[in-house]
Amino acid sequence: MENIISKTFIKTGSRNARFPYNLIVKSVVVGTLMLTAIHSPLQAQETPVTKYIMPSWWFGAAGGANFNFYQGTTQQLTTDFIVPTAFHDGKGVGFFALPLLEFHRPESRLGFMLQAGYDSRKGKWDQVKSPCNCPEDLNTDLDYITIEPSIRIAPFKSNFYIYGGPRLAFNMNNNFTYQQGINPAYPEQVADPEVNGVFSNTNKSLISMQVGAGYDISLTSETKQTKVVLSPFIAYHPYFGQNPRSTESWNMTTLRAGIALKFGRGKKAAVAEEVIVPAAVVVAVAEPEVTFAVSAPKNVPVERQVSETFPLRNYVFFNEGSAEIPSRYVLLRKDQVKEFREDQLEVFTPKDLNGRSKRQMTVYYNVLNILGDRMMKNPTSTVTMIGSSMEGTADGKAMAESTKTYLVDVFGIAPARITTVGRVKPVIPSEQPGGQLELALLREGDRRVSITSNSPELLMEFQSGNDSPLKPVVIKTVQEAPLDSYVSFANTGADKAFTSWNMEIADEQGKVQKFGPYSKENVSIPGKTILGTRPEGDYKVAMIGQTKSSKVIRKETTAHLVLWTPPVTEEMMRFSVLYEFNNSDAIAMYDKYLTEVVTPKIPKNGSVIIHGHTDIIGGEDVNLKLSLARANDVKSIMVKALAKSNRTDVTFDVRGFGEDESLAPFDNKYPEERFYNRSVIIDIIPAK
């Protein structure tokens, strides 16, 4: 079938261009007070200022939305593909982005405009029914490069103007997506696959017209030579000449709404005469409204003995260009196998851990040893090693063969119990179609061997099938300083008022510690970082912020800090939920686990601390929202399970930390650390 693309593309969304809708205008009027005699009147002489008139030439850019309305008939999509029923009407919204050039003299009526750039006319037809009473849907990603010269007329010699002229458009994309559903009377039917293709007989160029109106809003004063104008506008593009194809009668009408930002260089106006005024008034620039406060919690006299159920990621990540197991993984000799114990992994530690979360990463870097030990104890269990490599399936299989060889040679696992497969992409990839940002990190995470199994002895409780995670490992450790003992600094309004802010914290002897710079409103610092070995102390805390106009704002407060000490032992349990890349929904496989394993372990009147985290891939604001969404997903499952048992005695503390590396469970150097940072950590604490 000609021009039909059989592969289905999944669009994950895009980000449209952003335009500065709010600009800060700075103006300071400076005067000089002249003091004469005690009973003499005060006089001041205003200093002449240079003023500039509006320029004739303007440069800038315009952007906004096209509201597209389809009319006519479309049925033969390509030379070989005709749909059962014709489509007639439709609509859609696309965006446009156009650099612009304008010429019009100040106080004149007549001028010239030129816009050229990207112009989307995408849309979706109204659904129709085929002869079999099956619904049919058709949409298109239609876009052009457009050139739009116009005559500009200001009828009242004011900021209001109208314009009109031809539109020259050159087609860049004319793809379509067609889908025929099933007859509602026969729900057991299987729908036909989605058809993606390119319309035949596409007009490569169009000549149409446009008319519009706009209004210029000046954003600069008369004393500024560089002039800035913001111009909201609307335009009407009638159907004349807008036939996308040379066959059938499909046509469209477009209503455009947008905004233009224009810049020009003004000419110096005549110098104003000196004016004597009674007295000059000094106008102060208002400081931004910022509230700074310190919350220093009292000592939490608890040492929490943590029993952590640590999830075991069923991935082994490989270095670029190598099919050998990386040296950061713990690889045993055959004579060490008999000494290996899953509950004493500290004996077999990786080579290059920096001390942060050392115990947990020791568990993960023993993943092949844990798997080999479990397979020895369960001789009927089997696994499949799926190697994924952008260099091809052969390289992916070579990676899988490396893990198989290790288990066979060191642990004596029968080769028939291990199947190896090579792929280009993993089943659940990190890199998404159409993605363009941070591809190096995403592809590093996709170069891995995934361990799958159908043997329940190796898998997490209540799970089965190839997508199931491996059984977690239970480890015990002592938590150092709990998060509820951190000192919190709340600088409300700082994100809008300041480009950045710092802190200076001074003790009684005047010794100053500096922290920052920060851009967000709330910051948490462990009390031990400030106190060091001191049991307690009084501190002066100064916040120094730099405004967007380069002004420095300083606010001060005091705080009494107490070092966290652990005289009492408290038992605590910790569980984790792992997420795939960018997935804010709780993984379905954890629902039963959270409901039937984790929630019943909450003691009466206990509390649950739920903290969401992400890796460093993606925007900071997006990751902060994503981590909180993940934490709330987990909480909702646990609250629902408690409600079924008629329990209302549990308190929850839910927070999202995003990619904050000072609070992240792990580093972000290696893909395995980033994968473990995509998590929600659940701490179950008994009543005090």
Instruction: Supply the pLDDT for residue 480.
Output: 53
Confidence band, pLDDT 50/70/90 cuts, at residue 567: very low
Read off the pLDDT of each residue in 208-224 and give the average, rounded to a whole number.
92
Confidence band, pLDDT 50/70/90 cuts, at residue 565: low
45 touches 256 (CB < 8 A): no
pLDDT over threshold 70, residue 482: no
Assess whether 171 and 30 both reside in one domain.
yes
Confidence band, pLDDT 50/70/90 cuts, at residue 245: very high
pLDDT tens-digit series, residues 323-337? 999 988 989 999 988
Last residue of a domain, one of 446, 468, 490: 468
Tell me, what DSSP letter sits at residue 498? Answer: E
Instruction: Supply the pLDDT for residue 281.
Output: 46
Q: What percent of the chain has pLDDT over 70?
A: 81
Q: Is 154 in a helix, a strand, or coil?
A: coil
Assess whether 253 and 117 both reside in one domain.
yes
Q: Give the total residue count for the chain.
A: 688
Q: Which of 219-233, 305-319, 419-433 has the highest mean pLDDT?
A: 219-233
For strands 448-452 and 291-295, give the pairing.
Answer: unpaired
Task: Sheet with 487-492: list strands edge to edge.
Answer: 291-295, 487-492, 522-525
619: in domain: yes
The tokens describing 320, both together, are 């670029």
pLDDT tens-digit series, residues 277-301? 444 444 444 556 778 888 776 655 4
Confidence band, pLDDT 50/70/90 cuts, at residue 463: low
Assess whether 178 and 31 both reside in one domain.
yes
Rounded Cα–Cα distance for residues 335 and 379 (Å) = 20
Assess whether 78 and 170 both reside in one domain.
yes
Amino acid code (one letter) for 204: K
Assess whether 257 and 402 both reside in one domain.
no
Read off the pLDDT of each residue in 468-497 and give the average, rounded to a whole number.
73
205 touches 171 (CB < 8 A): yes
The strand pairing partners of 44, in sequence order, are 277
What angle (nearest 5°) sits at the alpha carbon of residue 105, between those of residues 104 and 109?
Answer: 70
Domain tally, the chain: 4
Nearest to 116 by CA among 77, 170, 74, 72: 170
Q: CATH number of the domain that 503 lies in?
A: 2.60.40.10
- N-terminal to C-terminal alpha carbon distance within the chain: 72
Assess whether 441 and 512 both reside in one domain.
no
Instruction: Supply the pLDDT for residue 316.
Output: 93
Report, in angstroms and rounded to the nearest whole number, the Rg of the chain calculated over CA atoms.
34
286: in domain: no
pLDDT tens-digit series, residues 90-109? 999 999 999 999 999 887 89
Last residue of a domain, one of 519, 544, 562: 562
610 touches 629 (CB < 8 A): no
250 alpha carbon, distance to own chain's centre: 39
pLDDT over threshold 60, residue 43: no
pLDDT over threshold 90, residue 470: no
Read off the pLDDT of each residue in 137-159 and give the average, rounded to a whole number.
94
Look over the chain and give the mean of its residue pLDDT values, rounded to a whole number.
82
Assess whether 542 and 681 both reside in one domain.
no
Instruction: Supply the pLDDT for residue 359.
Output: 61
Burial of 334 (0-12, 13-18, 19+ CB in 10 A): exposed
259 touches 232 (CB < 8 A): yes
pLDDT tens-digit series, residues 575-623? 888 887 655 444 566 788 888 889 999 999 999 999 999 988 888 888 8
Annotate 485-518 with b (16+ C-beta within 10 A) or e (fewer): bbbebebeebeebbeebebbbebeeeeeeeeeeb
SS (H, E, C) 14-83: CCCCCCCCCCCCCCCCCCCCECCCCCCCCEEECCCCCCEECCCEEEEEEEEEEEEEEECCEEEEECCEEE
261 touches 132 (CB < 8 A): no
CA distance readout (Å), 187 to 129, 190, 383: 16, 8, 38
Rounded Cα–Cα distance for residues 349 and 360 (Å) = 11
278: in domain: no
Read off the pLDDT of each residue in 55-73 and give the average, rounded to a whole number.
94
Rounded Cα–Cα distance for residues 597 and 461 (Å) = 8
Instruction: Supply the pLDDT for residue 277.
Output: 41
pLDDT tens-digit series, residues 177-203? 999 999 888 888 888 899 999 999 999
Instruction: Supply the pLDDT for residue 266.
Output: 86
**Residue 598 lies in domain:** 571-685
Last residue of a domain, one of 501, 530, 562: 562
Amino acid code (one letter) for 141: D
Instruction: Supply the pLDDT for residue 340.
Output: 86
426 touches 388 (CB < 8 A): yes
Q: pLDDT: is 295 or 273 the higher one?
A: 295
Read off the pLDDT of each residue in 261-289 and give the average, rounded to a whole number.
61
Q: Which of 37-46, 105-114, 164-173, 455-464 has the highest mean pLDDT?
A: 164-173
Residue with tokens 């003790």: 507
Least confident of 84-88, 112-116, 281-285, 394-398: 281-285
Assess whether 558 and 608 both reside in one domain.
no
Those residues with Cβ within 8 angstroms of residue 440's Cβ, 6 or more apart along the chain or in another chain? none
Burial of 639 (0-12, 13-18, 19+ CB in 10 A): middle
Phi first, then psi, for residue 129 (nearest 5°) are: -110, 135
Instruction: Supply the pLDDT for residue 39.
Output: 38
Annotate 260-272 with b (16+ C-beta within 10 A) or e (fewer): bbbebebeeeeee
CA distance readout (Å), 279 to 28, 32, 35: 16, 8, 11
Q: pLDDT: is 533 or 55 the higher one?
A: 55
Rounded Cα–Cα distance for residues 505 and 296 (Å) = 13
Assess whether 259 and 394 both reside in one domain.
no
655: in domain: yes
Rounded Cα–Cα distance for residues 676 and 670 (Å) = 10
616 alpha carbon, distance to own chain's centre: 10
Q: pLDDT: is 167 or 466 the higher one?
A: 167
DSSP assignments along 180-247, one per residue: E---TT-TTSPPPPPEEEE-SSB-SEEEEEEEEEEE-EE-S-TT-SEEEEEEEEEEEE-STT--SBSS
Locate the DSSP E strands across 288-346: 291-295, 303-312, 315-317
Assess whether 8 and 120 both reside in one domain.
yes
487 touches 557 (CB < 8 A): no
Q: Which of 24-38, 168-182, 273-287 has the highest mean pLDDT?
A: 168-182
Confidence band, pLDDT 50/70/90 cuts, at residue 479: low
Instruction: Supply the pLDDT for residue 461.
Output: 65
304: in domain: no
Rounded Cα–Cα distance for residues 664 and 677 (Å) = 7
Least confident of 219-223, 327-331, 458-462, 643-647: 458-462
The strand pairing partners of 129, in sequence order, are 135
428: in domain: yes
Nearest to 503 by CA among 559, 553, 532, 541: 541
Assess whether 212 and 338 both reside in one domain.
no
Assess whether 584 and 462 both reside in one domain.
no
Rounded Cα–Cα distance for residues 141 and 176 (Å) = 7
Confidence band, pLDDT 50/70/90 cuts, at residue 488: confident
pLDDT over threshold 50, residue 314: yes
Nearest to 55 by CA among 204, 265, 236: 265
pLDDT tens-digit series, residues 386-438? 999 999 999 999 999 999 999 999 999 999 999 999 999 888 788 777 767 77
Read off the pLDDT of each residue in 201-228 and give the average, rounded to a whole number.
92
Q: Which of 113-122, 273-282, 491-500, 550-559 has the highest mean pLDDT?
A: 113-122
261: in domain: yes
pLDDT tens-digit series, residues 624-660? 988 998 899 899 999 999 999 899 999 999 999 888 8
pLDDT over threshold 60, residue 477: yes
Q: CATH number of the domain that 590 lies in?
A: 3.30.1330.60
pLDDT tens-digit series, residues 344-401? 776 566 655 554 456 677 888 888 999 999 999 999 999 999 999 999 999 999 999 9
Residue with tokens 């909480």: 635
Instruction: Supply the pLDDT for residue 42.
Output: 35
pLDDT over threshold 70, residue 27: no
475: in domain: no
Nearest to 596 by CA among 649, 651, 645, 652: 645
